[in-house]
Chains A and B, each alone.
Chain A
Amino acid sequence: MTPPITRVLVANRGEIAVRIIRACHAEGLEAVAVYSDADRHAPFVALADHAVRLGPAPSAESYLRIDAILAAAKDMGAQAIHPGYGFLSERAPFARAIEEAGLIFVGPPSSAIEAMGDKTAARRLMQAAGVPIVPGAVQPLSDPAEAVEVAQRIGYPVLVKAAAGGGGKGMRVVHDPADLAAAVTSASSEALKSFGDGSVYLERFVERPRHVEIQVLADHQRTVHVGERECSVQRRHQKVVEEAPSVAVDAALRERMGAAAVAAAQAVGYRGAGTCEFLLADTGEFFFLEMNTRIQVEHPVTELVYGVDLVREQLRIAQGLPMTLPHGPLVPNGWAIECRITSEDSANGLLPSSGVIRALTVPEGEGIRWDSGVVEGSEVTLFYDSMLAKLIVHAADRPAAIARMREALDELLIVGVATNVAFQRRLLAHPDFISGAIDIQFLDRHPELLSTSDTAAIPIEVALAAVLLEEEHRQARRNAGEAHAARPSRWGTALE
């Protein structure tokens, strides 16, 4: 019998660390933060009851150090470790090390991570469990020459995928056989760098599918699904906007996909919160992609429409308690949308930016949720991924949720670091997004959304604000007894 949990170490950073620490407090548990030098002053460190330094800024020397995290848990007397998402969350050796240290991993058993982590083995396992999968090879390629033959058999277009992948890294789509060798080589090199394993495999690329995923939750008695999330709006295989429910899923399809996800989870002895990702074709066919054996970035949209707190449920299940979800099928209440707010420059092709957040005004009001890892004064570095926060809205239906999100994006002000906010505004105003005609190639078809229009007129708000600033500035100089109105540039640093 495991000892009761009173203290949880949160092995993550940013918004998800904040989210988990809050859930710990709501469950009456203490939270221990671990941090790198770059995050010394981060909000999650201040929010935790205790904090332990892991090491220098690079992830490999801090958030990826299993030994340092385990030592921190022991030193601080934490009985459980929550991995969040990313970093070590889906590394079976991490979960196993925690299990072997007599601590509780807030997540599935290491064996389930292992079973789902090897994408090739997982496909075979899913096939055996009766979960539909995309046609393709189940073996990793032994060399690029073999790829040509395998691709021929599966049929173009083919998708080159990292066997140990996730988050879109080590993925390439190949339409033309002539490009295959180069794609295999570059995907393999990216996979080797990201995951330490360069093996890749091929599968059929289903054209214009939606990315629809099913949330599952499993305690010691039952495994249930908590509906779908529509995550089709993606850029370079990274999700940008997520919603729940999906315009493409009715109650009957939800039950079919839900049953497949539950079967997938049961096939690996799953516990806790997890997500089965599916490709949904316009024919209504769906294919299992992979299972994310952790909490997802986009979990809040599910929480809002089903009135559940998934992180608290994770903590309950880790303590051996039953989940609080009611029995029987769940019905989504209204519509929720999440926009990922990242430090990617809307005016510069969404390239990463860095800097200090000099001002942050967060939208407020009914149906608006802001899950954030930053505050005014936070420094945004290039050491970690670019997500600053998530803006989530909930409303009665999809049009109302879109309207609410657009208002919320208008209200959101971030100064000091270039962000993707303007890109999100353009996206939410796009007729295809508004009509729900989205699939995973939506952004590829609309590259114009990635850049600002050069022909745009000067917004009157901008022009008048600048004129008023200039007038105020010149008045200030006159008051200061200056002989001549000078150019604002000489005065500018005084603003800092």
Chain B
Amino acid sequence: MTWFVTVNDRTLEVTRDGDAFVVDGVRVPATLVRTPGRAELRLTLDGRAVVLGLDGHSPSGWRVMHQGLLHEVRVEDERTRELRSRAPVPKGAGGPVQLKAPMPGLVVRIAVREGEQVQAGAGLVVLEAMKMENELKAPRAGVVQGIRVNPGQTVEKGAVLLQLGDV
């Protein structure tokens, strides 16, 4: 059986072969031990023990922690992959871009005004988190369109702070 393992835009084919897997033409024996309810995974890879973490999963797959980084790993067989590839693809992004809070924090300053034209890289909002001020910059040139927050306001991660419209 062949699995299609996808992280971001990269896909790796992994084929089951007895107690091992074939990856890029190399046969790797692998077993996994874990205690139900525990987030720790003990993987034995060709005799080598590796500890990984499992942080549940999201719509984009298993959330596997490895060497300090979280990977969202989608594992599909041929059939589910085929089904997904036929699903309608959302239209490419266009129009206004939203500036979202990359972390929870306190809005310290808003460096722009409604209707102001900004260049890519211009400072837009200063967000304070863990006692550090972080300047959020314009991802592209545009016109500031809907400022949704005020200085002094606490925002959650992912909260929309303002929009950048086309010039």
> What is the interface of chain A, defined by CB distance below 8 A to chain B?
169, 190, 194, 236, 345-349, 351-354, 358-359, 361, 382, 384-386, 409-416, 418-425, 452, 454, 457-472, 487-489, 492-493, 495-496
State the interface size on chain B (CB cutoff 8 A). 54
Q: How far is the CA of A416 from the CA of B70 in the complex (A)?
A: 10
Q: Identify B57's interface contact among A194, A413, A463, A489, CB under 8 A.
A: A489
Given contacts A385-B131, A413-B51, contact A468 B65 (CB under 8 A): no
Q: Do A452 and B69 have beta carbons less than 8 Å apart?
A: yes
* Chain A residues closer than 8 Å to B54, beta-carbon distance: 415, 465, 469, 495
Q: Are B43 and A409 in contact (CB under 8 A)?
A: no
Q: A385-B131, A414-B65, A458-B73 are in contact. List 20 more A-B contacts (CB 8 A).
A: A236-B132, A346-B69, A352-B105, A353-B103, A358-B39, A382-B105, A385-B130, A418-B70, A425-B67, A454-B8, A461-B66, A462-B64, A462-B71, A463-B12, A464-B30, A466-B64, A469-B64, A488-B57, A488-B61, A489-B57
Give the docked Cα–Cα distance between A285 and B16 (Å): 63
Shortest Cβ gap from B55 to chain A (Å)? 5
> In B20-63, which residues have CB < 8 Å from any A CB?
21, 23, 28, 30-32, 37-41, 43, 45, 50-59, 61-62
Q: List the B residue with the shortest CB-CB distance to A383.
A: B130
A361 touches B51 (CB 8 A): yes
User: Which of A459, A465, A470 touches B41 (beta carbons < 8 Å)?
Assistant: A465
A–B Cβ pairs within 8 angstroms, 8 of them: A194-B131, A415-B65, A424-B68, A452-B69, A463-B7, A466-B62, A469-B75, A495-B54
In Å, the complex CA distance between A413 and B53 comes to 7
Give chain B's interface secondary structure class: strand
Which residues from chain B sit less than 8 Å from chain A, CB to CB?
3, 5, 7-8, 10, 12, 14, 16, 21, 23, 28, 30-32, 37-41, 43, 45, 50-59, 61-62, 64-71, 73, 75, 80, 102-105, 129-134
Contacts of B38 in A (CB 8 A): 359
A472→B55 CA distance, assembly (Å): 16
Q: What is the CA–CA distance of A411 and B68 in the complex, to the nearest angstrom?
A: 10
Instruction: Tell me which residues across on chain B come within 8 A of A410, comparing CB atoms.
Output: 67
Nearest CB of chain B from residue A330's CB, rounded to whole Å: 35
- Contact across chains for A351 and B129 when beta carbons are under 8 A apart: yes
Compute how far the CA of A496 lies from the CA of B54 in the bound complex, rounded to whole angstroms. 10
Give B33 Cβ to nearest chain A Cβ, in Å. Answer: 10
- Decide: B69 and A347 in contact? CB cutoff 8 A: yes
For B66, list chain A residues within 8 Å (CB): 459, 461-462, 465
Closest Cβ of chain A: how far from B106's Cβ, in Å?
9
Q: Which 4 A-B pairs have the closest CB atoms?
A: A421-B68, A422-B68, A359-B39, A415-B53
A425–B66 Cα gap in the complex (Å)?
12
Which residue of the partner chain, among B39, B45, B58, B68, contacts A464 with CB atoms under 8 Å? B45
CA distance A452 to B68 in the complex (A): 11
A-chain residues with CB within 8 Å of residue B130 when the two chains form the complex: 352, 382, 384-386
Q: How far is the CA of A231 from the CA of B129 in the complex (A)?
A: 24
Min CB gap B135→A, angstroms: 10
Q: How far is the CA of A423 from the CA of B68 in the complex (A)?
A: 8
Pairwise interchain contact A495-B131, C-beta atoms closer than 8 A: no
Residues of A within 8 A of B30 (CB): 464, 468
Q: Which residue of B lies closest to A419 (CB)?
A: B68
- Asked if A359 and B40 make an inter-chain contact with CB atoms under 8 angstroms apart, the answer reads yes
Complex CA–CA separation, A21 to B105 (angstroms)? 32
Instruction: Let me know if B7 and A458 touch, CB within 8 A.
Output: yes
Q: Is the CB of A351 within 8 A of B68?
A: no
Q: How far is the CB of A306 from chain B (nearest CB, A)?
A: 30
Q: Is the CB of B70 within 8 A of A347?
A: yes
Complex Cα distance, B50 from A413, in Å, reads 11
Taking a contact as CB atoms under 8 Å apart, the answer to whether A354 and B50 are in contact is no
Residues of chain B within 8 A (CB-CB) of A414 are 53, 65, 68
Contact (Cβ within 8 A) A461 B102: no
Assuming the A-B contacts A384-B130, A458-B12, A459-B66, are A466 and B39 also in contact, with contact meaning beta carbons closer than 8 angstroms in the complex? no
Contact of A489 among B55, B58, B65 (CB under 8 A): B58
For residue B57, give the distance in angstroms from its CB to the closest CB of chain A: 5
Instruction: Give bound CA distance, A412 to B51, whole Å.
Output: 9
Which of chain B's residues has its CB closest to A452's CB? Answer: B69
Cα separation A471 to B161 with both chains bound (whole Å): 42
Q: Do B73 and A413 touch (CB < 8 A)?
A: no
Residue from A236, A346, A351, A492 with most neighbouring chain B CB atoms (10 Å): A351
